[in-house]
A = this chain, B = another copy of it.
Amino acid sequence: MTLWSRTRTAVYGEITRTAMELFLERGFEATTIDDIAAAAGISRRSFFRYFGTKEDVVLGDLVARGELIRDAFEARPESEDPWTALLGALHSVKDAADETDAEMLKVFKMVHQTPSLRARSIEKHLQWQALLTPEVRRRLGADPADPFDVRAEALVATVLTCLDVAGEAWARGDGAVPLEGLFDAAAAAVRG
């Protein structure tokens, strides 16, 4: 761990904290990157060296979370059918989340109220989908060269859609009901 990478991580965290504060205070769209840079004590240009877009400040770690989900999924016993294994993997990653529900709720609401954030968030889910699909294809015994075998894609996309639906309901209902339960209910409505 060199000093460069240490300061880099520190600055990264500082920008995130400062920006999230501004976002929650005056809204995502009403906060410009100049605002964030000024508040974090860096130049506008440097902001873009840490984050590709303004949305990435909010959604950046979704990529890492996707990799966690994939790992959890691959660790599932081979005896489980893919659907059950996917549900299990998502549950285990939810349990390991380090944020409090209150923080998560604020972020969820912001994402679901801001079109550009919602769009990016769905884009990240598509990346999750791409991460998870190969293992599902393997478990289903699908021909890797067949572009028309859509079973794996359909299963993965559906599970992630259920997560999205559950998240939306959770945010709309102010988190009064646990997210896991909503997710299970959504999954059951599709497969039950």
Contact = CB atoms under 8 A, between A and B. Distances in A.
Nearest to A186: B154
Interface in A90-136: 115, 118-120, 122-123, 126
Contact of A153 (B126, B158, B186, B187): B186
A155 B188 CA distance: 10
A161 B186 CA distance: 14
Given A122-B122, A158-B158, A158-B162, A169 B150 contact: yes
Contact of A158 (B169, B182, B190): B190
Copies of this chain, complex-wide, total: 2
A157 interface: yes
Nearest to A126: B118
B150 A182 contact: yes
11 contacts: A118-B126, A122-B122, A150-B165, A150-B189, A151-B186, A153-B169, A154-B165, A154-B189, A154-B190, A157-B165, A158-B158
Given A118-B123, A148-B185, 8 more contacts: A115-B123, A118-B126, A148-B182, A150-B165, A150-B166, A154-B162, A157-B164, A158-B161
Interface of A: 115, 118-120, 122-123, 126, 147-148, 150-155, 157-158, 161-162, 164-166, 168-169, 172-173, 176-177, 182, 185-187, 189-191
